[in-house]
Amino acid sequence: MLAVLPFENLTGDPNKEYLADGLTEETISQLGRLNPEQLGVIARTSVMRFKHADERLDQIGRSLSVHYVLENRLSGSGDRIHVGASLIQVKDRIPLWSQDYHYPANNIFNVEEDLAKAVAREFQIHLTSQQQAELSQPRPFKPEAFDVYMKGYYFFQRGADDKDTNMAVAYFERATQLDPSYALAWVGLSRARYWQANVGLIPTQEGQQLARDAVERASTLDPNLPEANIQMGRIKRQVDFDWAGANSSIQRAIALEPGVPENLVQAAFMAELFGRFDEALRLDRQALELDPLNAESWENLAENRFYAGQLDEAIADIKKALELNPDIWDSHSLLSDIYVLQGRPQDAKREGELITSTLFRVRARAIAYSALGREKESDAALKELIEKYHANAACSIATVYALRNQRDEAFKWLDRAYAQRDGGLIFMKIYPLWKNLHGDPRYSAFLKKIHLPN
């Protein structure tokens, strides 16, 4: 097990942080696809917790359960960039290998291949002839497009607010303009556009179509790009309800990059939606091993247990997620739902008020008040939910009606959710708060409408 520690920016220019972070991600990606059976590489989210952190190597090793770390330093300015790398064995802190690399500023993207070749050589990792060829080939995109792509990736990953998302879109678009053949930039643009649609920054159907157009362009340019396959899988699942097509795309990504946590998570998600919870749990645990300090890894595990009815275990996983990131909003929403199912409506109400998303906070309030028997307050929250969010959150409104066993209203809003292509519909088979609808013939008809087996 190897952790690629965040590139340390020693250039003296804080504006180069995007480059340091981008090189960290790209190096992890290159190493992760070498040979997962021989080398496990910790994901970006977990290692970035050690950016600017003053932690000893043995502490990092314990936190990430790794045997080796790759330390990296970025320095230089103007026309030349320097990278220093050291491969260190954690148990005795002995460097196994160190190397300095020097690049023209417009050719820095070769560093990931150089580091991958060095690590493969040091660990005697078996590489296929195709992998050897890929590591020796020059990058097929323009250096200036790579630099702009890195800026887009920086803002998309940071995602602190809507401004970050819009900045990411602008940089990804610029990268595709600088080099229309840059497939990964088209994937980045697709993901950012899709997120804009999800959070209401642009109209849902417009954003989904822009996202589809961009990822189709990426797939045409490079059918074997794992990131394009994963993004295509998301769109086929969330927008088209094309379960076979989504699964095919996700499995293709895993075949291309079996050691990437996100690919495993997406496969787990597909298994989960069809009620194959043991399979989903196994995949989520594999992803967790590669991304142990990512709050979302623990939340994914909690969601799987929630849908499987393992509520106490789900609570424990959510609390671990909140320890790692108190601001992860979905955890409070999930806890509120769990407390409703456990007959703890007062706890559900308290937890619901901690949800940072106004939409889901109001939804949780309507549900908790109903469970408490305080129908007047539940009606008021539901009215607010409808007035503010009828155009893009029909599924949430349907959930409240379903819990209150008001079936006619629930199915009316489910039909609206279908027209909106609300992403919540994919949970139709497994979401326990919809159990009041299960005996209704309209439920079976709706499952058929979104191509889910009854």
DSSP structure string for 24-60: HHHHHHHHHTT-TTT--B--HHHHGGGTT----HHHH
> In the predicted model, is pLDDT for residue 131 greater than 80?
no
Q: Is 335 left (phi over 0), alpha (psi -120 to 50) or beta?
A: alpha
CA distances to 143, 300, 332, 388 from 308, in Å: 48, 12, 19, 32
Which two structure tokens, joined as six digits, stand for 412?
Answer: 């009316």
The boundaries of every CATH 1.25.40.10 domain in the chain are 140-257
CA distances to 361, 380, 411 from 364, in Å: 5, 12, 19
The most distant pair of C-alpha atoms in the chain lies apart, rounded to whole Å, by 69
Q: How far apart are CA 213 and CA 217, in angstroms?
A: 6
Residue 139 pLDDT grade (very low, low, confident, very high; cuts 50, 70, 90): low
> Mean pLDDT, to the nearest integer, of 379-406?
94
Please tell me the predicted confidence (pLDDT) of residue 308.
94
Our CA angle for 267, 273, 277, nearest 5°, is: 75
Non-local (6+) Cβ contacts of 121 within 8 A are none
The size of the chain, in residues, is 454
Which two structure tokens, joined as six digits, stand for 444?
Answer: 């079976």
CA 410, 413, 417, 419 torsion-angle sign: positive
Q: How far apart are CA 433 and CA 436, in angstroms?
A: 8
Helix %, strand %, coil % of the chain (to 5):
65, 10, 25
Nearest partner of 167 among 149, 181, 183, judged by Cα: 149
- Domain 2-138 carries which CATH code? 3.40.50.10610
pLDDT digits (tens, 9 = 90+) for 304-317: 999 999 999 999 99
> In the predicted model, is pLDDT for residue 391 greater than 70?
yes
Nearest partner of 410 among 426, 427, 422, 396, judged by Cα: 396
Beta bridge partner(s), residue 41: 2
Helix, strand, or coil (residue 240): coil
Residue 138 pLDDT grade (very low, low, confident, very high; cuts 50, 70, 90): low
Ordered alpha helix ranges (H), 159-292: 162-178, 183-198, 204-221, 226-238, 243-256, 261-273, 277-290
Architecture category of domain 140-257 in CATH? Alpha Horseshoe (1.25)
> In the predicted model, is pLDDT for residue 161 greater than 80?
no
Q: Is-contact 261 287, C-beta < 8 A?
A: yes
DSSP state of 100: E
pLDDT digits (tens, 9 = 90+) for 233-261: 999 999 999 999 999 999 999 998 888 89
Residue 197 pLDDT grade (very low, low, confident, very high; cuts 50, 70, 90): confident
pLDDT digits (tens, 9 = 90+) for 5-21: 999 999 888 888 888 88
HSE-CB at 162 with a 13 A cutoff on CA atoms is: 7
Q: What are phi and psi of 303, to 5 degrees?
A: -65, -40
Q: Is-contact 149 184, C-beta < 8 A?
A: yes
> In the predicted model, is pLDDT for residue 199 greater than 80?
no
Lowest mean pLDDT among 40-44, 153-157, 313-317: 153-157
The boundaries of every CATH 3.40.50.10610 domain in the chain are 2-138
Beta bridge partner(s), residue 88: 69, 95
Q: Identity (one letter) of the amino acid at 296?
A: E
Q: Is-contact 336 368, C-beta < 8 A?
A: yes
The residue to which tokens 């990792």 are assigned:
125
